[in-house]
Structure 1
Amino acid sequence: MTTVESGRRSTALAAVVLVGAAVAVALGVYGRVHDPALKPLFLFGFSGMLQFKTWFATAALVLVVVQVVTALWMWGRLPGAGAAPGWVGPAHRVSGALAFVVIMPVALHCLWSLGFSTSSPRVVVHSVAGCVFYGAYTSKMLGLRLRTAPGWTLPLLGGAVFATLVVVWLTSALWFFTRSGLPLT
């Protein structure tokens, strides 16, 4: 690889990360300066906004776990699984698209209804992790288009998406479940 190619590769990767960081910061700023509505946009049959957000976030987390497993399988990193069958790639893409669709209404409620809050350490961590999640997701989606990216790029960006969603879930859904049990509606 020439110096010019290496420079372009580094510039493209830096641009992907910077766009993701800009998305995270923009969401945080919007969430902080926006006056929270303190009411749900919609509930999809749930009894309250927290119940809705908790179950949708849990569904998204399950789908993202499917993403991790299928990615490991596709790249031959799933111990004992052997070569991935042809359906694993499409399952990976569909589970990712579904996870995004499921998590979007949760994010809308977080930003519009509740805003970026600093009322407790848990809420600060949740607010920051939610913004970083969407920044990481943006970088991962853009990183998929980089044909010259180093081999570690997608696993690192995908790992950041997974890790931040786990933090978001731990600081919201798990917190809710430990206080109210497992309300189904």
Structure 2
Amino acid sequence: MASAAGPSAQTARAALAAALLTGAATAVVLGVYAGVHAPAGRPLFTLGFSGMLQMKTWLATGAVVLVVVQLATALWMWGRLPGAGAPPGWVGPVHRYSGAVAFVLTVPAGLHCLWALGLGAGSPRVLTHSAVGCVFYGAYAAKMLGLRLPGLPGWGLPVLGGTVLASLALVWATSALWFFTRSGLPLL
């Protein structure tokens, strides 16, 4: 005889598996599209920046800064920020809005990666950037679905959020950081 918690836990695991599969499918679809699409080689828009790479670099940098805000506020909300005490009421909204704005900043950059540049395989850096960029959007999709799952295991949200953070950091390091160091802009 199954326990009362059995079907609920099984349903939660199935929902988590569906969210993870949706994220994986998102990453694969983006990668396949980027691989088969003939890159346009030109930007759709530059949002006032001097060029497409400059736009992508600064938007990605803004997104990374906001993801650091996400990390700090998540740690604070979960009581993992040493010495911070109980979070005030504004921490939750700052967490949500900084994440939403960070994602919005990634969209023009990701769109230009897919449409203008395609799946890059010219060097290990570019291939890593292309693959991890797809992983970022898949991880983001899985995290957004995971937020709405009742009974999500306690490790689920930190792992999903950590994957989003780590993949965006690697995307930034293989693009914006590379661009900054090649353009002569001193980092510190």
Which residue matches 1:8?
A: 11
- 1:6 deviates by 2.1
Which amino acid is the alignment partner of residue 112 of structure 1? Answer: W
Which residue matches 2:34?
A: 31
Distance (Å, rounded) in 2 between the aligned partners of 1:97 and 1:136: 14
From 86, 91, 98, the equivalent of 2:89 is: 86
Structure 2 counterpart SS, 1:151: coil
Which residue matches 1:52?
A: 55
Distance (Å, rounded) in 2 between the aligned partners of 1:65 and 1:161: 11
1:147 aligns with 2:147: no
Distance (Å, rounded) in 1 between the aligned partners of 2:184 and 2:165: 25
TM-score by length of structure 2 reads: 0.95
- 1:182 deviates by 3.0
- 1:181 deviates by 2.4
Distance (Å, rounded) in 1 between the aligned partners of 2:6 and 2:154: 18
From 100, 104, 107, the equivalent of 2:103 is: 100
- 1:48 deviates by 1.0
Whether the 8 Å CA contact 2:120–2:130 is kept in 1: the answer is yes
Distance (Å, rounded) in 1 between the aligned partners of 2:29 and 2:185: 34
Distance (Å, rounded) in 2 between the aligned partners of 1:11 and 1:75: 25
How many residue pairs match? The answer is 183
Spell out structure 1 runs of 4+ moving beyond 6 A.
none
Structure 1 counterpart SS, 2:174: helix
Residues 66-107 of structure 1: CA distance to partner in whole angstroms, max 9, x if unpaired?
001001001110011111000000000110110011110000
Residues 151-172 of structure 1: CA distance to partner in whole angstroms, max 9, x if unpaired?
1111100000000000000000
Q: Where does the alignment leave 5 or more consecutive residues of structure 2 unmatched?
A: none
Which amino acid is the alignment partner of residue 67 of structure 2? Answer: V
From 16, 20, 28, the equivalent of 1:17 is: 20
Residues 24-43 of structure 1: CA distance to partner in whole angstroms, max 9, x if unpaired?
00000000000000001111
Which residue matches 1:178?
A: 181
RMSD over aligned Cα atoms: 1.1
From 122, 126, 139, the equivalent of 1:136 is: 139
Which amino acid is the alignment partner of residue 177 of structure 1? Answer: F
Whether the 8 Å CA contact 2:35–2:119 is kept in 1: the answer is yes
Distance (Å, rounded) in 1 between the aligned partners of 2:56 and 2:132: 15
- 1:47 deviates by 1.0
- 1:131 deviates by 0.1
TM-score by length of structure 1 reads: 0.96
- 1:56 deviates by 0.5
- 1:7 deviates by 1.6
